[in-house]
Amino acid sequence: MYLTSTNAMTTDGCLYNIDGNGNRVAAMIYGPKDVYVVVGVNKIFESEEEAIDHIKNVSAPANAIRLHRQTGCAVAGKCVNCMSDQRICASYVKLARQGNKDRIHVIIMRQELGY
């Protein structure tokens, strides 16, 4: 079993994640028998464009600051498409469908969680 969150989700059920090492998204894609994804209402968007904008300009900079990374987004507060060795947005993953029925369980919380 794997418990995680997502950077963003669209109203059609797609999960969007940016990951530095790929370990979080790898486990979401393949491996654990059951994956539970907790989503706050602040991470739900109408379109893919809105989801990606949120990740680049809210989630990634906040995570870079939290992890004390020396990246352009940590300084600017938004994505500057840096090429820093400390960059946390190396893997962009959109989970649109899971081949194993009932493997991924999305739990939507009626509160704002994370960024």
Residue 17 has pLDDT above 90, yes or no: yes
- For 40-60, what is each residue's pLDDT tens digit? 999 999 999 999 999 999 999
> Which has more pLDDT, 99 or 46?
46
Strand, coil or helix: 106: strand
Q: 57: closest CA among 72, 47, 46? A: 72
Mean pLDDT, range 13-30, rounded to an integer: 92
Instruction: Report how far apart the first and last C-alpha atoms of the chain are (Å, whole number).
Output: 24
Q: 45: closest CA among 94, 10, 12? A: 10
- For 65-91, what is each residue's pLDDT tens digit? 999 999 999 999 999 999 999 999 989
Contact (CB, 8 A) for 80 and 43: no
Burial state string for 61-89 with b = 16 or more CB within 10 A and e = fewer than 16:
bebbeeeebebbbbeeeebeebeeeebbb
- At 25, is the pLDDT very low, low, confident or very high (cuts 50, 70, 90)? very high
CA distances from 78 to 17, 62, 93 (A): 16, 9, 19
Contacts of 107 (CB under 8 A, 6+ apart): 36, 37, 38, 39
CA distance 100 to 115: 29
Model's pTM, two decimal places?
0.90
